[in-house]
Chain A
Amino acid sequence: MAGCGKREPVVKIGFAAPLTGDQAPTGQDMLHGAQLAVERANARGPALPGHRLELVALDDQRSPTQAVAAAKKLVADRDVIAVVGHLNSSCTMPASAIYHQARMLNITPVSSNPQISRQGFDTFYRTCATDDLQGPAAALFAVKELPMVRNQSYPMRIFILDDMTTYGRGLANEFEKKARSLGADILGHEGITQGDKDFVPLLTKIKSLTPDLVYFAGMFPEGALLIKQRAEVGLGGFFMGGDGLFDGTLITLATPQAAEGVYLTTIGSDIHAIPSAQEFVNAYEERFGPIGAYSAYAYEATSLAIWAIHQAGQKSRAAVLAAMKGLKDYPGLFGAQNFDEKGDSLIRDIGLFTVKDGTFVFVKTATWD
């Protein structure tokens, strides 16, 4: 009896991020990165001999409750032996506990809140830098280097804003701590609500305090409005933000004229500036269109998971986890990838970008001490 296309057993990598709702575009970008990784791995040959590799994508709608449900669903599926996810720190946090209990490898591409890796889960890894590095790096740059742009001799006067999310508030607090220790004059630290449109009263008030710099820890929709409206009220000085602003839409929404000269930090180097990653960028853009800010991290995380599965040589979560622990100098997109005992990546580059002539321009790799 001829085998009429008997299907191979399948081994799956789980993927969780917001795929619907207002962060859907970012989540979709990450999904594409993960999909590319799986496709390329399959083209090279089976990651696990005798098995077909698949990606299972679940939507967490950036809600912690849904993230927990998605995590449980992935854990319940015995074919899933590694998970890439989530996007938001507030989702990754509770979900990581579930993956830990199931002894399943969990790599987050971009959740940058430092608390997650301090829970002591040996199943948790992340491929990005954390906010306790990003904030201080931004502060160092803002307090030490920006004054030199204007030959300023007195301490920087800074007003801090955040978007009242786990990510935004965390990053802003890190920035403030470091900035204060460096002697900056913090004029105020206030929150804005995501989804709000009108910051003119707030910016008018800030203008009356004459800051040299406004630092905003949050996402690009609000960031764009802040940048646009600060130009409208005539608030001069610098504007700086975190990786949440790193999206081309920021410049469109804020208008290129207003966005000129804005600075921002990212949780890794510029993917375009790394020659060895160019091939990946080309392959991605050919397949999916313009590359998103986080696509590369998702690709990296998924590739790591695939490598671990390959190393394990068997369809077992424990084996995959053990393989990951033995990882050393993995040739990743951003260079040789290693992790510390908490699961944080040892590649701790914080990229510094500015907006010039309507696009993001890489300035340098920032340091944080």
Chain B
Amino acid sequence: MNVSRMTRWGLGVLAALALPLINPNPYQLDVLTTSLLYALLALGLNLIVGLTGVLHLGYAAFFAIGAYTAGWLNIHWHVSFWFGLGPAALIAGLCGVGLGVPALRVRGDYLAIVTLGFGEIVRIAFTNLEQWTGGPNGLLGIEHPRLWIPGMGIVDFGVSSAPYYYLVCVITGLVAVLCVRLSRSRVGRAWIAIREDELAASCSGVPVLHLKLLAQGCGGAIAGVAGAIFAAKQGTITPDSFDVILSVMILSMVVLGGLGSIRGAIIGALILGTLPELLRGFEQYRMLVFGVAMIAVMRLRPQGLFGGFQRRISP
């Protein structure tokens, strides 16, 4: 990267880190934190839909799996948040691959429905399997993260806004960098090749199925991490937080930002994440305006904000 680009990035990072000190409004920080968490999810889904071109409508399921894994481990085995991140990512990632194995045998649109169905099955299962998941009551009493900070001792995140803001900023930032490196690597280029023309890619020797599964696994793992953070932040998780609407929202964020664009996924998430809060004044009309906005964007700027060369989803 050249110097001016690094400077811009550096300033951006500095601004992000300084924000809670300049404007410590906990509500606004919380909204921003939630949007950044959505951005993390959007980055994960971007790997699947944006880079590889696999249409996925059940992404919230992996978010749920990550959240419940971390939450369950914390409540029953007293695994702290930090150690819970790994298992959450691993299990969610494995589920991503596991779902992919049968699902990727079908065509694009059918795959969308299979993933939708899977998402709903997971949600209903979490609601019904009371012994494991607490049923509709969900998991209660998940501990908040605790971190030893030099000079401050052990800080319990509690329900303050700033600690989570920093946590999500850092993790989302790391994952974003990871995604950028990934998209420029051989794997990433192969993914894009699959998206652009699966048949040609396959003929060129790209192991299509394996790479699609890899995308599913990585995307799932990222959602798992986001889920663990969500569980620790909320303290209570219930199945109704992980419905189809959320999957659709994340997908919209990716599409709005432009398929395949890392920057786009983050910005799309920030916009769509803060929009409902900004529209609070409209109360009743919120979702209506959201729907109209979705249609309008698809009509007026179908490639999204930063999308470019994507032509079509693989059949």
Which chain A residues have a beta carbon within 8 Å of chain B's beta carbons? 19-20, 58-59, 63-65, 68-69, 72-73, 75-76, 90, 93-94, 97-98, 101, 113, 115, 164-166, 168-170, 191, 193
Can you offer 15 A-B residue contacts whose CB atoms are under 8 A? A20-B284, A59-B280, A65-B34, A65-B234, A72-B26, A72-B30, A90-B238, A94-B234, A101-B158, A113-B137, A115-B137, A166-B238, A168-B136, A169-B130, A193-B124
- 16 more A-B contacts (CB under 8 A) besides A72-B26, A76-B25, A90-B240? A20-B284, A20-B287, A59-B280, A64-B241, A69-B27, A69-B31, A69-B34, A69-B277, A75-B26, A76-B26, A76-B27, A90-B138, A90-B238, A164-B128, A166-B137, A169-B137
Interfacial chain B residues near A113, Cβ < 8 Å: 137
B295 contacts the other chain (CB 8 A): no
Closest chain A residue, CB of each to CB of B233 = A68
Interfacial chain B residues near A19, Cβ < 8 Å: 283
Closest chain A residue, CB of each to CB of B137 = A166
A interface secondary structure, majority: helix
Q: A64-B236, A65-B34 are in contact. Are A97 and B136 (CB under 8 A)?
A: no
Q: A20-B286, A170-B137 are in contact. Are A101 and B160 (CB under 8 A)?
A: yes
Which of B124, B135, B238, B277 is close to A64, meaning CB atoms less than 8 Å apart?
A: B238
Interfacial chain A residues near B235, Cβ < 8 Å: 94, 97
Closest chain B residue, CB of each to CB of A170 = B137
Alpha-carbon separation in the docked complex, A338 to B26 (Å): 33
Interface centre among B30, B124, B160 (most CB of A within 10 A): B30
Contact B241 A97, beta carbon cutoff 8 Å = no
Which of A65, A90, A98, A165 is close to B159, meaning CB atoms less than 8 Å apart?
A: A98
Mask of B234-273 contacts with A, CB within 8 angstroms, 1/0: 1110101100000000000000000000000000000000
Alpha-carbon separation in the docked complex, A170 to B283 (Å): 31
Contact A63 B30, beta carbon cutoff 8 Å = no
Contact A76 B28, beta carbon cutoff 8 Å = yes
Contact A63 B136, beta carbon cutoff 8 Å = no
Interfacial chain B residues near A64, Cβ < 8 Å: 234, 236, 238, 240-241
B140 contacts the other chain (CB 8 A): yes
Interfacial chain B residues near A115, Cβ < 8 Å: 137, 140
Which of A73, A164, A191 is close to B27, meaning CB atoms less than 8 Å apart?
A: A73
Contact A169 B160, beta carbon cutoff 8 Å = no
- In the A-B complex, the 10 residue pairs with the smallest Cβ-Cβ separation, listed nearest first, are A76-B27, A73-B27, A72-B27, A72-B30, A101-B159, A164-B136, A166-B137, A94-B236, A169-B136, A165-B136
Interfacial chain A residues near B136, Cβ < 8 Å: 90, 164-166, 168-169
Closest chain B residue, CB of each to CB of A65 = B241
Alpha-carbon separation in the docked complex, A164 to B126 (Å): 11
Interfacial chain B residues near A76, Cβ < 8 Å: 25-28
B216 contacts the other chain (CB 8 A): no
Which of B28, B159, B280 is close to A97, meaning CB atoms less than 8 Å apart?
A: B159
B161 contacts the other chain (CB 8 A): yes
Interfacial chain B residues near A94, Cβ < 8 Å: 234-236
CB distance from A103 to the nearest CB of B (A): 12
Contact B135 A164, beta carbon cutoff 8 Å = yes
B80 contacts the other chain (CB 8 A): no
Interfacial chain B residues near A98, Cβ < 8 Å: 159
B303 contacts the other chain (CB 8 A): no
CB distance from B204 to the nearest CB of A (A): 44
Interfacial chain A residues near B314, Cβ < 8 Å: none
B127 contacts the other chain (CB 8 A): yes
Mask of B68-102 contacts with A, CB within 8 angstroms, 1/0: 00000000000000000000000000000000000
Interfacial chain B residues near A164, Cβ < 8 Å: 127-128, 135-136
Which of B135, B236, B283 is close to A169, meaning CB atoms less than 8 Å apart?
A: B135
CB distance from A284 to the nearest CB of B (A): 23
Which residues in window 123-153 of B have CB below 8 A to A?
Answer: 124, 127-128, 130, 135-138, 140
Mask of B200-239 contacts with A, CB within 8 angstroms, 1/0: 0000000000000000000000000000000000111010
Interfacial chain A residues near B124, Cβ < 8 Å: 193
Interfacial chain A residues near B236, Cβ < 8 Å: 64, 90, 93-94
Closest chain A residue, CB of each to CB of B127 = A164
